[in-house]
Amino acid sequence: MTTAQLGISYSTSQFLPEIFRSMFPDSHIANDYSLRPQKLSYVVSHGTSYYFNNELIKDVRKAHGFLLLFDETTIVGVRKQLDIFFRYWTATGNCVCVRYYKSIFLGRATADVVSRSIVDSLRADGINITRMLMLGRDNPNVNKCLLSLSHGNSDVEWGFLQNNHLVTDERSSLNEASINGLRATNAGIKFFGDSKVPITNSLLFSVQQSYSRYAKDNDRQQKLVKNVDTVNGKRTIDTQQEQLEEKKFSCSRNKSNCKKIWLKQLIC
């Protein structure tokens, strides 16, 4: 959780065993401790973030209504990043809170694409869209008053994006799951408070199941890539076939023209 909260690089995890052995030289746990960067990555992206996101969704479902705040911005690779937040009354904290929901990465952020992405996300998580009281974004033409509300969340007030803190330029190559994992975990810690996150059985079970989710996600991504490669390969073959047919037609036409010229010369 500290990794997500402070924006620490995953690669630093390889130095933790040495630190713990120095701190606790007589501890068998410290001597046997190991944590690879990849494991830390999927524990955050498919473990802690999975737990905090589920807790958020359950909390929003209980609310009588909510405000949906979103912002899209251009990131590395000229892609559009759509950040979505909920603002609602939470019975857990007995207050109005603003909580990070997720980030969606889009090729083109047209109005139709943005609206479809938001609606599809809410439906997939079983959130009743009819309970949405207002839709807001950081645009002077759309609900500008949202940014002037006093909600105590500077990350939302300053353009919604928190990537500059959690994901630096050196870490811009993180995939969508990693970015969502870091931000969802950090948002969950903020909601409960530093050192106040309840270590429940659900949280522990979610962390234990993180590798299983990570493996399934990887398999799904690989299948998608294979399908795309298959489609692209078929398109390439079709294009090559079309080019070959065009060449044949061009050669045939040239032969016909040459024959006509030869006949004209013969007649003359």
Domain spans of the chain, in order of start: 37-208, 218-268
Closest CA to 10 of 171, 218, 195: 171
Name the band, by pLDDT with cuts 50, 70 and 90, for residue 232: low
**Cβ contacts of 45 within 8 Å, gap of 6 or more:** 177, 178, 180, 181, 182, 210, 214
Residue 202 has pLDDT above 50, yes or no: yes
Range list of β-strands (E), 174-254: none
Cα 31 vs. chain centroid, distance in angstroms?
36
The predicted structure's pLDDT at residue 60: 92
Q: Which residues contact 48 (CB under 8 A, 6 or more apart)?
A: 1, 4, 181, 184, 185, 188, 203, 206, 207
User: In which region does residue 94 sit, left (phi positive, over 0), alpha (psi from -120 to 50) or beta (all else)?
Assistant: left
pLDDT at 208 over 70: yes
φ/ψ bin of 195: left (φ > 0), alpha (ψ from -120 to 50), beta (otherwise): left
Can you name the residues that pair with 100 across neighbouring β-strands? Answer: 85
The single-letter DSSP state of residue 209 is: T
The letter for the amino acid at 69 is L
Contact 52, 202 (CB under 8 A): no
Residue type, 237: I
CB-CB contact of 47 with 206 (8 Å): yes
Average pLDDT, the chain: 75
pLDDT score, position 265: 63
pLDDT digits (tens, 9 = 90+) for 5-60: 777 777 877 888 888 888 888 888 888 888 788 888 888 888 888 899 999 999 99
Prediction pTM value: 0.65
